Amino acid sequence: ETGVTQSPTHLIKTRGQQVTLRCSSQSGHNTVSWYQQALGQGPQFIFQYYREEENGRGNFPPRFSGLQFPNYSSELNVNALELDDSALYLCASSSGTSGGTEQFFGPGTRLTVL
Amino acid sequence: KNEVEQSPQNLTAQEGEFITINCSYSVGISALHWLQQHPGGGIVSLFMLSSGKKKHGRLIATINIQEKHSSLHITASHPRDSAVYICAVREGAGSYQLTFGKGTKLSVIP
């Protein structure tokens, strides 16, 4: 059984650029959630994908968008990057969408915006 | 929106000490998670609980639903326990969103 993987591990971009981050969910999991963790803060929920549809969204602007593919892997896209987008981006997969479902986290992608 | 507060923010302990990290939240929840984050970012789920107490090895997690409070205890602490411990809550049973505390940074000194 493979765990949650993310790519790339590190990324440097400049303000105004666009970025795509990738997440492969754990085998058997159909739900992926994305989180942003600024330095020294707890993660913040961006959105969740369930069976290729967005299932819920946190307080993030539309320039944060995502996709989920038939194999349940997922992408997070961020357009018009801002300096404050510099953070660790975490994805987590689970076999359900709510309640007591345990989430399994990937190692994260550290994004630096200059 | 749930407010999740953790205390202390930073904790330094001698190897072998008993450690307690606290988490309080403002709105009723369906589940509470304790997570461990090592330098470099990877997060490991330690416990998910909605009532009572759970134990795994040297780790014990308790929750008091009426008090809206949870504690994570580490017995016989070891330097390898050094990490950031994060509390996260899920509100209603149909809720998909986790709200996280800022974390408690634990350093265990040999």
The answer, for B40 touching chain A at a CB cutoff of 8 Å, is: yes
Say how many residues make up chain A.
114
Cβ <8 Å between B48 and A100: yes
d(C-alpha A73, C-alpha A79), whole Å: 20
Of A41, A100, A106, the CB nearest to B50: A100
Helices (H) and strands (E) in chain A, counts: 0, 11
| Residue A55 with chain B: CB contacts under 8 Å | 96
d(C-alpha B62, C-alpha B52), whole Å: 6
pLDDT under 70 in chain B at which residues? Answer: 93-95
Per-residue pLDDT of chain A (114 residues; tens, 9 = 90+): 568 999 999 999 999 999 999 999 988 888 999 999 999 899 999 999 998 999 889 999 999 999 999 999 999 999 999 999 999 999 999 887 665 578 889 999 999 999
